């Protein structure tokens, strides 16, 4: 008898987060607003009014809260889309759920994002 075992392949803890982000779908192109569902040190899951195909490289600007006074810190990074639901651009769909893996590994980016994530676990 075969058992069905599901494993979570994520390397980083995810935290629920409703953060504003801006997506840049092509270099030098316009920014498109989106909102996160959750985030980890390795990636972000967000909603978008636009379909974004898997393997699309994105420029991202995350707006992370800074302190208790309501200020936000803009953190720029790069990522690649690993999943989009629905899986195709669909007429009548107004919101897509997009999973994006961060490809930016700069120490400054990792430090800022890691500080935010660990502060919300």
Note the pLDDT tens digit of each residue in 52-101. 999 999 999 988 887 666 788 888 899 999 999 999 999 999 999 999 99
Which of the two residues, 13 and 86, has the higher pLDDT score?
86
CATH code, domain with 79: 2.40.10.220
Within its chain, how far is the Cα of 79 from the centroid?
A: 8
| pTM score of the predicted model | 0.81
Q: Does 103 reside within a domain?
A: yes
8 Å CB contact between 38 and 16: yes
- As a whole number of angstroms, the distance between CA 116 and CA 121 comes to 9
Among positive and negative, which fits the CA dihedral 98, 104, 110, 115? Answer: negative
Q: Does 79 reside within a domain?
A: yes
Phi-psi label, residue 69: left if phi above 0, alpha if psi -120 to 50, beta otherwise: alpha
Range of the domain at 38: 15-118
- pLDDT for 109: 84
Question: Domains in the chain: how many in total?
Answer: 1
8 Å CB contact between 44 and 79: yes
Q: What is the mean pLDDT of the chain?
A: 84
- pLDDT for 39: 92
pLDDT category at 11 given cuts 50, 70, 90 is low
Q: Does 3 reside within a domain?
A: no
Q: Does 9 reside within a domain?
A: no
> pLDDT tens digits, residue range 39-62?
998 999 999 999 999 999 999 998
E strand or H helix that includes residue 115: helix 107-118
Q: Does 98 reside within a domain?
A: yes
pLDDT category at 12 given cuts 50, 70, 90 is low
Q: Does 95 reside within a domain?
A: yes
């Amino acid at each position: 008898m075969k058992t069905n075992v599901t494993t979570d392949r994520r390397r980083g803890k995810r935290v629920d987060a409703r953060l504003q982000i801006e997506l840049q779908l092509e270099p030098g192109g316009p920014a498109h607003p989106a909102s996160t569902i959750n985030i980890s040190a390795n990636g972000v899951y967000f909603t978008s009014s636009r379909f974004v195909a898997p393997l699309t490289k994105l420029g991202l600007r995350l707006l992370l809260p800074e302190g208790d006074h309501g200020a936000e810190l803009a953190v720029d990074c790069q990522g690649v889309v690993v999943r989009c639901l629905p899986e195709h651009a669909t007429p009548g769909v107004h919101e897509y759920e997009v999973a994006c893996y961060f490809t930016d590994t700069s120490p400054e980016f990792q430090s800022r994002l890691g500080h935010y994530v660990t502060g919300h676990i």
